[in-house]
């Protein structure tokens, strides 16, 4: 029968010997873990280092007992400058927290991967401290990470993006994964692009961009100790043409800002940050439900 004898073909066209699996909801190996106890006691914000350990908390026998109907959630972000008032880790801290809240909301429906902090940010390099991957490196990281989870027999995977510069590479990755893993259903979404978030903002159409109203609000809610409140200043020079939304252009951020930010962070507040997080999580819950139902 060839190399497939006794084995199972994954969605990426590879073959491996099957292990005994018990497809139950959630992880049921051993006694209740502190993480599950904390969920039942009510969700609270935790330090960044604890926000990005979901799959990382399991052993491989634990993983065998996770239902393959579970949606794997893979957060991707960036490590780049966010002006004089927010830290380099902003994008990663935000998407990690949003995915953490999603996990607390529907723990038996999702399996969350560690947040990928390295993204595509060459346009920020003029502001030193930014760390970036080249496009091909970034695409390969996404494809390899997702392929590894497909090899582990998960066929529903949702990439949750937290950085605007990642969008083109995420889309190319989805194309390649369609070809490489034809039997898997792999999705990408950017939490910051949801229409529901626009209902919360107050700073106007050019007020909530990079390190503006929304990101400043999130960081005030998540890590107020990292926000330099005495440095908040409106920045950015939006295009003057009415055709700007119909034309694509890549350019260095220092060409259109004074201090590396877009928008007006003076509109930021912790209360508003909590509302942005809740709105994003509500959308993600619906997306996960639609994926599980086969509606996407």
69 Cβ contact partners less than 8 Å away, ≥ 6 residues apart: 23, 156, 292
Give the mean model confidence (pLDDT) for residues 66-75. 96
The answer to whether residue 110 scores a pLDDT higher than 60 is yes
Residue 161 DSSP class: E
Reduced to 3 states (helix: H, G, I; strand: E, B; else coil), residue 172 is helix
Phi, then psi, of 126 in degrees rounded to 5: -60, -25
Give the mean model confidence (pLDDT) for residues 79-105. 97
User: What pLDDT was estimated at residue 47?
Assistant: 46
pLDDT tens-place string over residues 183-193? 999 999 999 99
The CATH class for the domain spanning 44-194+280-293 reads alpha beta
User: What pLDDT was estimated at residue 11?
Assistant: 65
- Residue-averaged pLDDT of the chain: 85
User: What pLDDT was estimated at residue 253?
Assistant: 85
User: What pLDDT was estimated at residue 207?
Assistant: 64
The answer to whether residue 30 scores a pLDDT higher than 50 is no
Beta bridge partners of 110: 71
pLDDT tens-place string over residues 142-175? 999 999 999 999 999 999 999 999 999 999 999 9
Beta bridge partners of 172: none
Residue, of 291 and 40, whose pLDDT is higher: 291
Residue 96 DSSP class: H
Structure tokens of 46?
């935790």
Share of the chain above pLDDT 90, in %: 70
Domain locations along the chain: 44-194+280-293
């Amino acid at each position: 029968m060839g190399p497939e004898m006794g084995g199972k073909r994954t969605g990426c066209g590879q073959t491996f010997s099957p292990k005994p699996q018990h497809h139950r909801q959630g992880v049921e190996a051993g006694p209740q873990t502190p993480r599950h106890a904390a969920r039942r006691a009510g969700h609270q914000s935790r330090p960044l280092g604890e926000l990005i350990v979901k799959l990382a908390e399991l052993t491989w026998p634990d993983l065998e007992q996770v239902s393959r109907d579970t949606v794997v959630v893979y957060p991707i972000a960036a490590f780049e400058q966010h002006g004089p008032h927010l830290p380099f880790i902003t994008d990663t801290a935000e998407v990690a927290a949003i995915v953490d809240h999603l996990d607390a909301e529907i723990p038996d429906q999702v399996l969350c991967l560690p947040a990928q902090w390295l993204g595509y940010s060459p346009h920020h390099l003029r502001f030193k401290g930014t760390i970036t991957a080249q496009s091909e490196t970034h695409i390969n990281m996404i494809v390899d990470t997702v392929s590894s989870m497909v090899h582990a027999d998960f066929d529903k995977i949702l990439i949750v993006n937290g950085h605007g510069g990642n969008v083109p590479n995420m889309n190319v990755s989805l194309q390649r994964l369609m070809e490489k893993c034809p039997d898997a259903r792999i999705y990408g979404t950017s939490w910051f692009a949801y229409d529901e978030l626009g209902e919360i903002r107050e700073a106007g159409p050019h007020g909530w961009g990079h390190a503006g109203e929304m990101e400043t609000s999130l960081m005030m809610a998540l890590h107020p100790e990292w926000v330099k409140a005495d440095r908040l200043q409106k920045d950015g020079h939006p295009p003057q043409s009415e055709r700007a939304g119909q034309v694509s252009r890549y350019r260095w951020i220092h060409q259109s800002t004074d201090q590396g930010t877009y928008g007006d962070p003076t509109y930021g507040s912790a209360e508003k940050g909590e509302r942005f997080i809740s709105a994003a999580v509500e959308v993600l819950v619906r997306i996960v439900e639609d994926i599980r139902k086969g509606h996407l």
